[in-house]
Structure 1
Amino acid sequence: MSFMAQWTLEEIVEATGGRLYYGDPKTVASGVSFDTRTIKENNVFVPMVADRNGHEFIQSAIDNGASVAFWSDPIETAPQSIAIIEVTDTLVAFQQFAQAYLKKIKPKVVAITGSNGKTTTKDMVAAVASSTFKTHKTVGNFNNHIGLPLTILEMGEDTEVIVLEMGMSGRDEISLLSKIAKPDISVITMIGESHIEFLGSREGIADAKFEIIDGMQGGTLIYPGEEPLLSKKVIGPSVSKHIGTIKTFGKQEGNDLYPLIIEPSIRSTRFTTNRDDQLSCTLPIPGVYNVQNALAAILVGEELGIDYETAYHSLTHFELTKNRLEWKKGWNDSVLLNDAYNASPSSMKAALNYFQQIDVVGKKIVVLGDILELGEFAKEMHVSLHEAIHPDAIDLLVLYGKDMTYLYEEMTKHMSTDHLFHFEGDKEPLIQFLKDSVQPNDTVLLKSSRSTGLLEVVSELSQSENE
């Protein structure tokens, strides 16, 4: 059982540089929330100022049990029925509070970023670390300038390792997160095309991901050694002041850790590595590409002093965050492979390559939704997906979304329109088409960016006719 975080108001004031306006400095608070719907008894309420001014919801926070609140509105508007800590900016104070708590608890900090695979790698790293240490990790996709501080402040006081996922959409965002967390170990999973709309090129993406070292003070960087955009950066003049050790993983010899044998199957992936060709690891998820995520996790374990046998055993039983490569019982006794949580061109190609190689009893049906945040590259990137689609390996290709029109037009050159369909807008026709098409023992892959909304389709197809 974890020991819940507690702070005196005096500690919070010191951490944030604020001023205690109402309340006793010795009063103890526990837990923190910026959403009044999740407030619990004795929590700290942090009213964020965004599209709506969070200060407007102070009464709801009080009603739900908050005992203290940050305050940056005019102080005379603050209620007197709750302890109030006056700060200049509630978000900055929230981040300072998290940083101070991290410094107090002193866990080993593992930070993870990358265009694809960061959540899976986070789950794998947490599984390996928790074999030996009290471990806390980012929940869901709470990986931004608000989610990361919240993750830190939710860790128990007995935490020994904290695993923090770091996401971004533009420059300087990961730099901020790294400076808050000051990682001991940083992992970059890969450089793909996610957020190319905002960063302009893969080089721009590499620059943004490499910001993960900005808060490091002599720790270890783990990255894919076969990515030239990163290999160039690790020899830069400013790197040595941040990084003490560099370790690489990859597909081939020359990396610190690489696979010797990979044996994929429909629901698992077995592999051995160059460190011990007699010792194998079996991941409880499909996809050869997940071996790279596992290699990164094994190297993190090595840095934490965890032996390979223990790490492999942990990976064999790790739990993947919901909606990522999730096998589900589908409509009409079919099987669904749900990967509609997020997508980039590279992750979609990887999922297609895996799916087309597996053996199934019935038909193979592929449902792909729009990949977002590609900007001016949207047409080029969606068309490029045709390179990973082998018409002989799938029975039905169903595309959804405005940008998938580009892929549909390209695929009409390679595939009979009897097996190729496109939908846009209202999802009901898509859902009905799939329900009419799916037969017992068919296997359906669903992959898209989350905001495209295919999770709604997954939900509908997860219901049997009798439910």
Structure 2
Amino acid sequence: MLSWKISAVAQAVGALNDLADYADQRVTSVSFDTRKLQSNALFVPLIADNDGHEYIDQAIEKGAVAAFWSRDLADAPEGITLIEVEDTHEALKAFAQSYLRAIQPKVVGITGSNGKTTTKDMTASILETTYRTHKTDGNFNNDIGLPITILQMPRDTEVLVLEMGMNHPHEISELSLLAEPDIAVITMVGESHIEFFDSRDGIAAAKFEIVDGLKNEGDLIVNGDEEMLMKRLSDPHHFNQTTFGQKENNDIYPVFIESSMKKTIFSTNLDPKTAICLPLPGEYNVNNALAALAVGLALDVSYKNIIKGLSEFQLTAHRLEWVLGFNQSQLLNDAYNASPTSMKASIGSFLNSDNPSPKWLVLGEMGELGEESERYHRELSEVIDADQVDHVLLYGRLMKELYDELKDDVDFQAVNLHYIESDLDQLIDYLKDNIQHKDYLLFKSSFSTNLIQVVEELKI
């Protein structure tokens, strides 16, 4: 069980009050959410849309024994030890970094517009064959989630795998400087969150911030097919670099790929005769596997164990997750996140699979695409082949752009094309009325559309 003395916490965060009387008191977990708080926890009252200090009584009721505190101590409640700090969020980060430096695991930081969660899961599975490994849980990949991930790390952890997300400039830099990775991975540059940047090159610059905290002589593992990333490698740097990608000028590239509805087989230039089997569809996932493979090699994992880790890894929920659905249908749930790049890749992989059963595309709108949102939605038509799909069901205001693009295309006259703007219940009812025995359905959208709820309603 994790455990910290109050004296150690106070020293890590530079407490402003005298805690000598509580020096030997211990906390065994850290939480900013009173709904998930455990007994003997340290409560972190963050100030955002709501002020977490207002929830201190609930924290005490749940069993919190200590809390960071940035209000006047005269307003302090009784029954809990308060650690006075100027900023509770900064204190959380300082505590996490102090703990990280005490444990000293090898740190792997992973970022990218798409594929970072899959790459994180693949990487952790590879490393678990050889090391005691801890990884980011769910989407705890921002300036709050990443410190919590660190503080959930067992003391015997040898390798820590951290996903680093962002939607604004300088956020990756902050995470990298906190985590000080030994290995940094950039999966790709896409259009995700482009409304907050001037261009894809601006996104590339933001992703490259991951090197800001990379240790001297650390390893940068980067998608070599991304010109906007490669041009940033032209100047002298303090790190080693390994490239992966589809092109043969990369350090690691595939020489063979074969994808079906539920698995992908490939081999690499490092051992062309040895096949690697991924338990998920999509040729685009090979790049994620190559990045994870490169991390394994950087940490001296044997190729045999790398293959084992990739063949046995499990994805975070709601990402390329096959579930049995209504009327014995097969539902491919990839509705947690979407960008034009990932949407096109998922659609292409799904439609190009060799399964003869009727296929549905259930597509929700994509968020945070800025002024070009309508164009990005229209351009999805480029990867939807009328000869390969039986039903196209589109949901969300912006998906009207794709609907209009397809409905006037003569090739789609034989396709069951339907559009629903905002009524989720109508969407569920339409699916239940029209799904036939053993149909195959792909669900892909941004999280905000809540297609995940639709999948839950259709599961059996």
Which TM-score applies when normalising by structure 1? 0.96
Partner of 2:9: 12
Cross-structure match for 1:267: 262
Equivalent residues of 1:7, 1:29 under 8 A apart? yes
Select between 169-178 and 56-65 the one with higher mean Cα deviation. Answer: 56-65
SS at match of 1:170: coil
**Alignment partner, residue 108 of structure 1:** 106
Find the aligned partners of 2:436 and 2:18 in 1 and give their Cα distance: 65
| 1:18 aligned counterpart, secondary structure | coil
Question: How far apart are residue 79 of structure 1 and its match?
Answer: 2.0
In structure 2, the partner of 1:421 is: 418
Q: Offset of 1:341 from its aligned partner? A: 0.7
What are the within-5 Å matches in structure 2 for residues 285-304 of structure 1?
285-304=280-299
| Partner secondary structure for residue 197 of structure 1 | helix
For 1:359, which of 354, 365, 383 is the aligned residue? 354
Match of 2:37 in 1: 39
Structure 1: gaps of 5 or more residues = none
Residue 430 of structure 1: aligned partner: 427
| Change beyond 3 A, Cα 1:17–1:327 | same
Please tell me whether residue 348 in structure 1 is matched to residue 343 in structure 2. yes
Quick one: percent identity of the two aligned structures?
50
Give the SS at the match of 1:324.
coil
Establish whether residue 337 from structure 1 lines up as the match of residue 332 from structure 2. Answer: yes
1:150-175: per-residue Cα shift (whole Å, max 9, x none)? 00000000011000000001101111
Match of 1:277 among 272, 281, 288: 272
1:454 matched to 2:417? The reply is no
Q: Are residues 1:63 and 2:61 paired?
A: yes
Change (3 A) 1:417 1:404: farther
Q: Which residue does the alignment assign to 1:72? A: 70
Deviation per CA, 1:346-369: give whole Å up to 9, x if none.
Answer: 001001111111122431111100
Q: 1:411 aligns with which of 398, 406, 410?
A: 406
- Secondary structure in 2 matching 1:206: helix
SS at match of 2:120: helix
CA deviation digits over 1:32-80, x for unaligned, max 9?
A: 0011111111111111111111111111111111111100011111123
Q: Which sections of structure 2, spanning at least 5 residues, go unmatched? A: none
Give distance in 2, aligned partners of 1:41 and 1:459: 32
Q: Which residue of 1 aligns with 2:385?
A: 390
Q: Map 1:199-238 onto structure 2 (within 5 A).
A: 199-218=197-216, 219-236=218-235
Which position in structure 2 is the counterpart of 1:254?
249
Give 3-state SS (helix, strand or coil) of 1:392's partner.
coil
Given the alignment, which residue of 149, 152, 167 partners 1:151? 149
Shift of 1:147: 0.2
1:60 match: secondary structure? helix
Query: For 2:131, which of 110, 117, 133 is the aligned residue?
Result: 133
Preserved CA contact (<8 Å) 1:362 1:440: no
Selected match of 1:316 from 311, 314, 318 = 311
| Pairing partner for 1:439 from 436, 439, 457 | 436
Select between 397-406 and 452-461 the one with higher mean Cα deviation. 452-461
| Cα distance in 2, alignment partners of residues 274 and 248 from structure 1 | 13
Alpha-carbon distance between aligned partners in 2 of 1:99 and 1:377, rounded to the nearest angstrom: 39
1:381 aligns with 2:376: yes
SS state of the match for residue 391, structure 1? coil
1:255 Cα deviation from its structure 2 partner: 0.7
1:82 corresponding residue in structure 2: 80
In structure 1, the partner of 2:120 is 122
- The superposition leaves residues 198-244 of structure 1 with CA deviations (integer Å, 9 ceiling, x where unpaired) of 1121101001111111111221100110110000001235xx14xx2
- Secondary structure of 1:456's counterpart equals helix
Give the one of 167, 170, 194 matched to 1:169: 167
Distance across 1 between alignment mates of 2:361 and 2:156: 45
Give, in whole Å, the separation in 2 of the partners of 1:141 and 1:70. 24
Match of 2:422, SS state, is coil
Distance, in Å, in 1 between the alignment partners of 2:90 and 2:194 is: 28
Distance in structure 1 (CA, Å) of the matches to 2:84 and 2:18: 6
Q: Distance in 1 between matches of 2:431 and 2:306?
A: 41
Match of 1:189?
187
SS across alignment from 1:179: helix
Shift of 1:266: 1.5
Could you tell me which amino acid in structure 1 is paired with residue 380 of structure 2?
L
Give the C-alpha shift of residue 20 in structure 1. 4.1
CA contact (8 A) 2:386 2:415 kept: no
Which amino acid in the other structure matches residue 304 of structure 1? L
Q: CA RMSD in A?
A: 1.2
For residue 362 of structure 1, what is the amino acid of its counterpart? S
Do the aligned partners of 2:264 and 2:277 also contact (CA within 8 Å) in 1?
yes
Q: Report the Cα distance in structure 1 between the residues aligned to 2:273 and 2:6, rounded to whole angstroms.
A: 55
- 1:368 corresponding residue in structure 2: 363
